Amino acid sequence: MNMKKENADISPECDMPIHNLRQFISRLETAGELSRVTVPVDPVMEIAAITDRVCKQPDGGKALLFEHPTGSHFQVATNLFGSATRVCQALGVVSINELTDRLRGLIDSIPVPDSRTLDRQITALAEFSRFAPRTNVDPDHALIQMDPPNLSSFPFLKSWPEDGAASGYSRYITLPQVFTADPDGGTHNCGMYRVQLRGDSDVAIQWKVGSGAARHAELYRLAGKPMPVAIALGGDPATLFSAMFPLPGDLDELTFAGFLRGTALVTSPCQSVPLLVPTGAEMIIEGYIDPGDTVTEGQFGNHSGLYSPAAPASLMRVTAVSHRPDAIIPATVVGPPPMEDCWMARAWERLLLAFLLKLVPSVKDIHFPFEWVFHQSAVIVINNPQPGTVKAVAGQLWARPWFSSARILLFVAAKAGIHGLPQAAWKSINVTDASQDVYRDGISGRIAIDATDCRLQRPEVKSSAACAELVTRRWKEYGFA
């Protein structure tokens, strides 16, 4: 890897706000957070192997820009958001906790928040709706139309040996922003879904049941019409994060992205489908899905260290591809933690806390351990626990979609000052009584562990303040550095 500053197509402008991928990469390079890989590297597994090793370095390693992927003249960027520092840079905050404070300030203006209608309650707030995207009818002149569309010319990644083995298509778009709308155009969705390349002009999109895109696809199926879809790569990092977050209900992701970045996004119409996408993207892929037209997608290596099985996915037939002449393809590698997506989920953790502080007042803090995060499991910090508090709060959390699939909820008391999994695990094994402090949901097998020690009457072991001060004062005298 070779660090270098000079590159005509990415100029550092540190005092400018970040509005697109290039500005973000420039900011990272100026801050010493980027490594350029200047030698040819294969997008088939080699880029992923390098990224995986870097992601597991202390604090997430550096962002990577691969300047010469073999078989393509387009660059690839990975691990862009793979550290707490870079997540903060992407979202324009000094501390990740600023996300909690800002969203909490918004939600606190709702007198009686209701989790069932929270999306509509937030949308009705002037402080939120003022960030609705603005439409620019002029095309983005930075993009050129590819005629005919040829997705094979781009260096999309194959990450793991058996990716796509069931169908023979092994390359994936792993940081897509997928745009859909209902047939009437009343609700829009921007989600991050797995996209498998299937030749030059077809892709398979794997969206989960219950997701915004899946709901739209069902409406188009009932209407007997093909569904327009647009996939954007790059653009403002806030849009990517908003697409990843499981926001409540039909809360508009682009308005939420504007709220995160502090200014409304600008959108432009697509060339061949009736959808709007944010300006400033590196690449836009457009097309249609027949909701009844599916293909087998997978298998796909994921965070569990296993392959998710092959399954039916929607087939999108591409009608247009536009891109910057020197497009940079953003990509992520999904695998056993720690990986880039763990750090991205930390941003959601801080935003989710803002919702919970209002909806479940007993909760003071939450923590998604990297080893648990993708199963919605968490360490839950609660205030002043009493016998029965944990069982009640667990029921409230399981009833909400954010924790409906949580396999383990581990509860600790706020007074314990626990901030991570090692301390919480130590507490849980030492203070819990499995016959009284472990609650099981009989239907799903979910469990809640009460490690709050609210039943225990024994005093905690703590150093005296005077002794701690004495030791601190004499530390060097003892001969320690």
The verdict on 296 and 374 lying in the same domain is no
Whether residue 417 sits in one domain with residue 308: no
The model's pLDDT over 187-200, given as tens digits with 9 standing for 90+, comes to 999 999 999 999 99
pLDDT in tens, 386-433: 989 999 999 999 999 999 999 999 999 998 877 788 888 988 898 898
50 domain-assigned: no
> DSSP class of residue 7?
-
Q: Is residue 355 part of a domain?
A: no
Same-domain check for residues 259 and 374: no
Q: What is the pLDDT of residue 349?
A: 96
Q: How many CA atoms lie within 13 A of 147 on its CB side?
A: 5
Q: What is the CA radius of gyration of the chain?
A: 24
Q: What is the pLDDT of residue 3?
A: 37
> Are residues 299 and 307 in contact, defined by beta-carbon separation less than 8 angstroms?
yes
**Omega before residue 338 within 30° of 0, cis:** yes
Domain total in the chain = 2
Co-location of 242 and 167 in the same domain: yes
pLDDT of residue 16: 61
Mean pLDDT value across the chain: 93
To the nearest 10 degrees (0 to 180), the angle between helices 237-244 and 340-359 is: 70
In a domain, 84, yes or no: no
Q: Report pTM.
A: 0.92
Higher-confidence residue: 326 or 9? 326
393 Cβ contact partners less than 8 Å away, ≥ 6 residues apart: 360, 362, 363, 380, 382, 411
- Does residue 213 register a pLDDT over 50? yes
d(CA 58, CA 261) in angstroms, rounded, equals: 28
Residue 457 lies in a domain: no
Number of other CB atoms surrounding residue 287 within 10 Å: 25
Please enumerate in sequence order all residues whose Cβ is within 8 A of that of 246, keeping only pairs 6 or more positions apart, or say none: 348, 401, 402
Measuring CA to CA, how many Å separate 80 from each of 86, 112, 174, 359? Answer: 7, 38, 13, 33
380 and 274 within one domain? no
Task: Find the CATH number of the domain harbouring 408.
Answer: 3.40.1670.10
Same domain, 261 and 372: no
Report the distance separating Cα 292 and Cα 270, nearest Å.
Answer: 24
Do residue 409 and residue 316 come from a single domain?
no
Residue 113 lies in a domain: no
* pLDDT tens readout for residues 171-184: 999 999 999 999 99
Regarding whether 249 and 151 lie in a shared domain, the answer is yes
Q: Which residue has the tokens 């169908």?
A: 167
Write down the pLDDT at residue 144.
Answer: 95
166, 295: one domain: yes
For residues 304 and 381, state if they share a domain.
Answer: no
**Bridge-partner residues for 366, per DSSP?**
380
Task: Provide the pLDDT for residue 60.
Answer: 96
Task: Mark whether 243 and 140 lie in a shared domain.
Answer: yes
Question: Any idea what the CATH number is for the domain that residue 167 is in?
Answer: 2.30.110.10
Domain of residue 430 covers 360-450
